[in-house]
Amino acid sequence: MTTEFSRVERLDTIGGEERQVTIAADADERAALARRFGLVALDRLSADFAIRRDAAAVIACGHVSAAVVQSCTVTGVPLHASVEEDVTLRFVEPTTAGGGDEEIELSGDALDTIEIEGGGIDLGEAAAETMALALDPFPRSPDAAAVLKQAGVISEEEAGAFGALAGLKAKLEGKA
């Protein structure tokens, strides 16, 4: 699988001693990632990793840094945001046991586990996915609440149980 920002470290070059790897996306890679993740722009994406092999996996500990421009989900206004995310990833050989339909329970340390594809680990794709997961899924500009209110959309507080009771109380007081 080729990705927009591929930085593969071959497995045969990763030993038990920790090795530093620094990566950064170029302009074309950032433009392609911005399209993939629905961003207005991706101004910067870089990562620093310390990689090493242990008995069962390749461990990559590091930091992902990005500068992005997202659209407000209400107004469409461009919003600048930054990502500064520490990450620890565990790259493991693909499992061959069992079928794909059985349910597997994951422990807390398995959540950042990635299966190795081919003869290496793709730190570029790992950095891109880390950035995407760290983004606000519903970015809102400062004036988003006012725009929603003007459009007649009620807030969560107004829609909740106590909001409904307040509306009922107001109606009852108006009839009294």
Element of type H or E holding 171 = helix 161-175
Supply the pLDDT for residue 11.
92
Residues 6+ apart with CB under 8 A from 26: none
At residue 95, what is the residue type?
Answer: T
What one-character-per-residue DSSP string does 24-69 give? E--HHHHHHHHHHHT-SEEEEEEEEEEEEE-SS-EEEEEEEEEEEE
Answer whether 33's CB lies under 8 Å from 5's CB: yes
Which DSSP helix (H) or strand (E) runs through 131?
Answer: helix 123-134
In this prediction, the residues of the chain whose per-residue pLDDT falls under 50 are: 97-98
* Pair 99, 105: CB distance under 8 Å: no
pLDDT of residue 98: 47
H or E stretch covering 21: strand 19-24
The whole-number pLDDT of residue 74 equals 76
**pTM > 0.85:** no
Residue type, 136: D
